[in-house]
Amino acid sequence: MKTAEIAQRYLDYFEKNEHTIVPSASLVSDDPSIMFTIAGMVPFIPYLTGVVPAPYARAADVQKCIRTNDIEEVGKTARHGTFFQMLGNWSFGDYFKEGAISYAWELLTSSEADGGLGFAERDLWVTVYEDDDEAAALWQRIAGLPAERIQRLGRADNFWTTGQPGPAGPCSEIYFDRGPAYGAEGGPAVDDNRFLEIWNLVFMQNSIANVRSKTEFDIVGELPEKNIDTGMGLERVAFIKQGVENMYETDQVRPVLDRAVELSGRRYGAEHVDDVRFRVIADHVRSSLMLLSDGVTPSNEGRGYILRRLMRRTVRSMRLLGVEEATFPALFEASRDAMKAGYPEVETDWQRISSYAFAEEETFLRTLTAGSTILDTAVEKTRASGGSTLTGPEAFLLHDTYGFPIDLTLEIAEEAGLGVDRDAFDSLMQEQRQRAKADARSRKRAIADVGVYSAFRAQGETAFTGYTDLETETNVLGVLVDGVSVPSATQGQIAEVIVAETSLYAESGGQVADKGVIVGPGFELEVLDVQRPVPGLVSHTVEVARGEVGVGQPASTIVDAANRRAATQAHSATHLVHAALRDTLGKGATQAGSLNRAGYLRFDFTWGQALSPVTRTEIEEIANNAVRDNLEVTTRVLSLDDAKAAGATALFGEKYGDRVRMVDIGGPWSRELCGGTHVASSAEIGLISITGESSVGASNRRVEALVGLDAFRELTAERALVNELTSALKTPKDQLATRVSELAASLKAAEKKIAQFEAKALGERVPALVDAATRAGAVRLVAESVGAVGSQDDVRSLVSSVRERLGSEAAVVALAAEVAGRPVVIVATNDAARRAGAKAGALAKAAAAALGGGGGGRDDMAQGGGADASAVPAALDAVRRGLVAA
């Protein structure tokens, strides 16, 4: 379910239930005390506080929000984002707790076919304020939730205030259980990573005074008119409904992340540090787009500074991923297309938005190049001297002369293990503000300089001969080292070499650059990369392997023939897979990106659901039939209009001139605009083996395949694995799947029996545990560790049995165990113990604190957990101390 659809279902539901649908307020807050709309309730504060009479009794909205106080956590968790959307329904003196709970439960649990969100009731938990018996009872009556899935928490978690005297009230939060793979059992009181908050219902019923902190204030009475203020995180609901891991992988954010992956050539999911950078980019680009659409522009003050910081963090993240050229055109376009369904203004106002974004990036690329060099030098100098802090003047120089934001300097310094003398920096900033305006105007920022290539481009376009020749004789037109034109480069140096003609393919259209060498009299250059830094000009990044290369020397560009052949096979196979997809799924399966390298292809396409095994096999068969049929591959250069009239498919993300290259495989069956290299006939591809099909967003799928010899080797390896399994299991190939299923079923049955034996063994420990009871204050206490057990339910059952055997005398049972490698403590009290003041929830909370976690629950039974199993004795001791103190 796409994000925009979730939002529309929400609005449709509440409109049907007589709510006025209120459009989102601007991200630029009208409240002078805050720069941005930081929460869904901000536009409604005048009505909630009673300062302004509400123009409606009940309302619903989708509110755009920006919050940057946790900017350093963006990308590191599943829930932190700078831009987010809050779904809210509001009652101003109309319905109260019963209505809010009823509406929330109905919308969440109604089927998608009936307009609901289709959550399974078993996956939902709620928390209520610790003494809000009314809310707890309503949840049981309306939703039928069992008492153990309604947890009571204190002021820190379940009581809402503005932080000022005035309206306040208890709240009830709804959580989604993501499953045991994400953490411990026991509800949100135990693990708020596994149990993810999705909706907060605030019951604004109290008036507070003497506010001393978030949890310290006096409730002085009830409001004469009670209000409802709810907030459901749209991004959180979206990533749950879309079955992805976090908000960065939802349909409104993932396209930017994928584009960053494509631009960088690195894989998302391969390395944690890179993953964080990809998520920062995806988040910050979307936030910047939305701020620009609401009229914020980059500057060094206020809202403009926040926007500039987001954009510059994006640029720096791309640099850390190895991309040094401008990326905002690609990234912002991806974000625009992802967001325009919900916010059409990002498309209608695109010219203005993009002009600010692209100019800001161009300026900062130059800033980053110059500033990074100076900062790196300062860092090394500080380390060499044994220091731990960059000086204020160094930080100020970066800001004043190079436009380096202090936040960026702080981040880079922290990564290097250094601090920054912020006080000295602030002092210099204050002095600068007092200077004359003329001095301020003297600080200029230059647009990123690609002028270094202009002299070479003026000599004409780089002729590409690689369609027909793998080796071309040419002349060296230019040599650049560190972006500066130089006469020559010597052995060991990394340089850019520009030649008049080249047989080496420059990365484009999804096909990676050729491998190869450039040789000449007395020198040999290993080609590391081939790119087009400006239209029409090819630049070769090389390492000088031998000798010295200089401007004006003759040279030969030589392509690695085996690598080119395999890359050409992969690119042509991509065309076949594209055509097969459209044959099978229809014209709606359109290309959304590709990558072709030697022996491998990746093809992204627009489609809303996973391909079935049958469909995947059909696509693979159609593509391989085309290989078998040895279809002719032809290329023509013609006008763009003629190519479109012929039905040619344009490649994703490509920009075309008046003349284009059209590639046909089998005539019109596969007809695409493409500048890549291709086989002469389809039989040269060899073999196409689809190895994977996956989601890359709510409406985009990805097919991956091996091609040619790589495909053959992969199938050979699979055959060897099957042979090994048939031998080990002594089962024929055609019965292997059945045999594996039988073994899995046997294993499951064995695990069930083991669990039964373990439960029986635990039960046999009851007498010994009862005998271990000691006195703790006014009660008998059993406080023991029972070691590793299968589940928390086993511990809970054991606790109940021991409590029952202790009889009617005041008794408390606290048993610690290790479940799935994590410590848990479950505490139970009997009636007499509770009359004596013992509360299981408070005792479990104290025990969990010793374990480094959290806990709580009812007075009769509660639980807690943590991460430090070595602290179990301390946790049990905390229970004993709590009873003695009581």
Could you tell me the two tokens for 487? 């006469």
Alpha-carbon distance of 520 to 572, in angstroms, equals: 33
Cβ proximity of 281 and 318 under 8 Å: yes
Please give the Cα distance from 229 to 262 (Å, whole number). Answer: 42
Q: Encoding tokens for residue 442? A: 């003297």
Residues annotated in the binding site for Zn(2+), as ranges? 571, 575, 674, 678
User: Buried (b) or exposed (e) across 17-32, using 16+ Cβ within 10 A?
Assistant: bebeebebbebebeee
Contact 847, 876 (CB under 8 A): yes
In this structure, what token pair is assigned to residue 156?
């820190």
CB atoms within 10 A of CB 8: 15
Judged on CB neighbours under 10 Å (0-12, 13-18, 19+), 87 is buried
* Residue 614: Cβ within 10 Å count: 8
- List phi, psi (to 5°) of 112: -60, -35
3-state secondary structure 630-645: CCEEEEEEEEHHHHHH
CB burial of 817-844 (b: ≥16 within 10 Å; e: otherwise) equals bbbeebbbbbbbbbebbbebebbbbbbb
Which H/E stretch holds residue 308? Answer: helix 302-320
| Interatomic CA distance for residues 752 and 381, integer angstroms | 64
Whether the Cβ atoms of residue 580 and residue 622 lie closer than 8 Å to each other: yes
- Report in angstroms the alpha-carbon separations of 274 from 250, 278, 312, 442, 538: 18, 6, 17, 38, 29
Beta strand segments in 163-269, E: 166-177, 195-209, 218-233
Rounded Cα gap, residues 258 and 697, in angstroms: 9
Cβ neighbours of residue 549 under 8 Å, at least 6 residues apart?
A: 476, 479, 488, 489, 495, 497, 518, 520, 523, 525, 542, 555
Burial code (b: 16+ CB inside 10 Å, e: under 16) for 664-703 equals bbbeebbbbbbbbbbbebbebbbbbbbeebebbbbbbbbb
> Which residues, 6+ apart, have CB-to-CB distance to 216 below 8 Å?
none
Q: What share of the chain is helix, strand, coil (3-state, %, to 5)?
A: 45, 25, 30
Annotated binding-site residues read 571, 575, 674, 678
Could you tell me how far CA 61 lies from the centroid of its own chain? 25
Query: Is residue 862 a contact partner of residue 843, using CB atoms and an 8 Å limit?
Result: yes
- Which residues have CB under 8 Å from 574's CB, separation 6+? 510, 594, 596, 601, 603
Per the DSSP assignment, residues forming a β-bridge with 776 are: 779
Could you tell me the two tokens for 419? 């601090």
Across the strands, what pairs with 196? 176
Helix (H) or strand (E) holding 19: none
